[in-house]
Amino acid sequence: MPVQSEAAPSTPMPPATRPSRRGSVQLDAARLRQLRRSLLLSQRDLADEFGRRDIQVSIATIKRAEAGQAVRYRIAREIARYFDLPANELAHASALAGAH
């Protein structure tokens, strides 16, 4: 006899706690640019650095992040790890406000 699971009915999350679209977050573009420039790196140089460390972040993604467009959470974590920061310190303030 098959066992029926008692899953909770699917209810939509309220807008204030709903994750951002498709698992992405907007980074603080100015902070990211400042961090990159503090190391005297161009966007291409940073992408090359990621490649040397076997971190999959392309120059196109770096450009998108610095233009204020959202990036995947995985990418945000990798970028933050490179700069030795917690990922939430690179997230744009409005992105954090929507996560609570």
Q: Is residue 36 part of a domain?
A: yes
Measured distance CA(29)–CA(67) in Å, rounded: 6
pLDDT tens for 12-59 read 433 333 344 568 899 999 999 999 999 999 999 999 999 999 988 999
Q: Which residue has the tokens 């450009």?
A: 63
Q: Is residue 33 part of a domain?
A: yes
Q: Is residue 26 part of a domain?
A: yes
Across the chain, the runs of DSSP E, i.e. the strands, are: 24-26, 70-72
Whether 92 contacts 27, CB under 8 Å: yes
Its pTM stands at 0.69
Read off the pLDDT band of 94 (50, 70, 90).
Answer: low
Read off the pLDDT band of 68 (50, 70, 90).
Answer: very high
User: Which CATH number belongs to the domain containing residue 49 in this structure?
Assistant: 1.10.260.40
Domains held by the chain: number? 1
Q: Is residue 8 part of a domain?
A: no
Read off the pLDDT band of 93 (50, 70, 90).
Answer: low
Q: Is residue 6 part of a domain?
A: no
Tell me which residue of 84, 57, 70 sits closest to 27, measured CA to CA. 70
Is the pLDDT at 77 greater than 50? The verdict is yes
Residue type at position 8: A
Q: Which region among 28-32, 67-71, 88-92 has the lowest average model confidence (pLDDT)?
A: 88-92
What is the chain's mean pLDDT, rounded? 79
pLDDT for position 12: 43
Q: Give 98's DSSP letter.
A: T
User: In angstroms, what CA-CA distances link 11 with 8, 14, 19, 24, 90?
Assistant: 8, 9, 14, 22, 31
At 16, is the secondary structure helix, strand, or coil?
coil
State the residue range of the domain holding 65. Answer: 22-95
Q: Is residue 76 part of a domain?
A: yes
